[in-house]
Amino acid sequence: MIDIIADAPWFLPIAGFAVGILLGAAARWSDFCTLTALERYWYANDATGVRTWVLAAAVALASTQLLIILQLMDITESFYLNPRLSLLGGIIGGVLFGVGMALVGTCSFGALVRLGSGSLRSLIIVIIVGLSALFTQRGWLSQWRTSIIEPQAFELNAISQSLPSLLQSAAGFDSRVLLTILISGALFSWIFSSADYRGKLPHILTGVVVGLCITSGWVITSKLSEVMYRQVQIESASFVLPPGELINNLTSATASAADYGIGLLLGVVFGAFFIAALKRQIHWEACDDARELGRHLVGSTLMGIGGVLAAGCTIGQGVSAFSTMAISAPIVVLSICIGARMGLRMLFEGLPFMHRA
C-alpha cells in the first residue's frame, strides 16, 4: 500500500480534494466569510462571524499542537516556520490583501465558496488572484519582491519562527504545552463567553470543521512527505498561489504535477456546490456594470500581490500559520484587518467611483 502511494502522483491532489470538499461544504453551510464577519463586527456590532473564525483558528492550533506534542507529525519544514521573518512583506502584503478583499467583497477562499454557488464574479476574482500571485512569485514583480522586500527580512535566532521555538532559544525551556493551553484556552474562553453564540450550533460546528480541516492538511502532507518519491511541500490551506498553479497546470505541459493545494482548491468549489445544490441556492451572478468589474479587477490584483508578499491570506496566515504558532500570523492578520477597514471606508465613506453598486 505504501509503495502504491509513494509512486502515485495523483494521491496528493486527491487527498487535498477530499479535505477541500469538507472545508467548502462547511463554509457554504453557514456562510463562513472573513470579510462578512469583520463587516458585521464593525458596522452591526455582531461578533458571530468573528467568533466562528476565531474558533476555527483555535481548534486548528489546539489540534495541530497536540499532534506535535505527541510526536505524531513534524511540520518543521513548513514555509510558515522559516526562521527568516519578512516583517515588511507581512505588513505591506497584509494591508494590500485587506484593501483588495474589501473592494471585491470577500477573500480568495470566500470567492471559491461563492464560485461553487454560480458566482461568475468570483470566477473573475479567482483567476485574477491566481495570475497576479504568479507574476508576483515568479514573474516580473518577483524581481521587485526579491530585491526590495525580501532583503529587509531578518534572521531569527531560533530553529523556526514559531513562538515555542523562539522562547526555547531565548529561555532554554520547552514552552509548547504551556503556550498551547494558554493561547487556546484564552481564545475558547472569549468565543464561548457569549451566551448567544453558545446557542448557535451550526456556526460552532463550522468553526470546528474548518479548524480540523486545517490540521488534516498538516497531517496528510507531513506524512506523505515521508513516503512519496516526489518532493512534497508540507502545507495546509492557503488560497492565493494555488489558483495560479492550477492555471499553470492547465496551460503548460511542462508544469509540475498537481499538489495538495490544487486538489484542496477544487474540493472547496465542489463542496460548496454540493451544499448550494442541496439548499437550492445555485444561481448565476455577474458584475452589474463596468465600475463593479473594474473594482473586482483592482481588488483581485491587490489580493494576489498582497497574498504573496504576506505569504498567505486570511486562511493561510490567519488559520494555517496561526496553528503553527508562527509569529508572522498575528502580524499579517492585523495588517489584513487594517487594510480591510481602509478599503471599507473607501467604499462606504469616500471615493464615490468605488462605491458598491
Neighbours of 212 (CB within 10 A): 19
357 residues of the chain, pLDDT tens digit each:
555 555 567 889 999 999 999 999 999 999 999 999 999 999 999 999 999 999 999 999 999 999 999 999 999 999 999 999 999 999 999 999 999 999 999 999 999 999 999 999 999 999 999 999 999 999 888 988 999 998 998 898 888 999 999 999 888 888 999 999 999 999 999 999 999 999 999 999 999 999 999 999 999 999 998 888 778 899 999 999 999 999 998 888 777 778 999 999 999 999 999 999 999 999 888 888 888 899 999 999 999 999 999 999 999 999 999 999 999 999 999 999 999 999 999 888 765 445 454
Quick one: DSSP state of residue 257? P
Range of the domain at 12: 2-354
- pLDDT, residue 353, reads 42
Give buried/exposed letters for 260-289 (b at 16+ CB in 10 A, else e): bbbbbbbbbbebbbbbbeeeeeeeeeebee
Give the number of domains in the chain: 1
The whole-number pLDDT of residue 171 equals 85
* Whole-structure pTM value: 0.93
DSSP 3-state assignment of 117?
Answer: coil
Residue the block writes with cell 495560479: 244
Which pLDDT value is given to residue 357? 47
Q: What is the pLDDT of residue 352?
A: 46
- CA 256, CA 218: separation in Å to the nearest integer? 21
Predicted confidence at residue 226, as pLDDT, reads 87
- Tell me the C-alpha distance between 191 and 198, whole Å: 8
| Strand pairing category for 154-155 and 84-85 | antiparallel
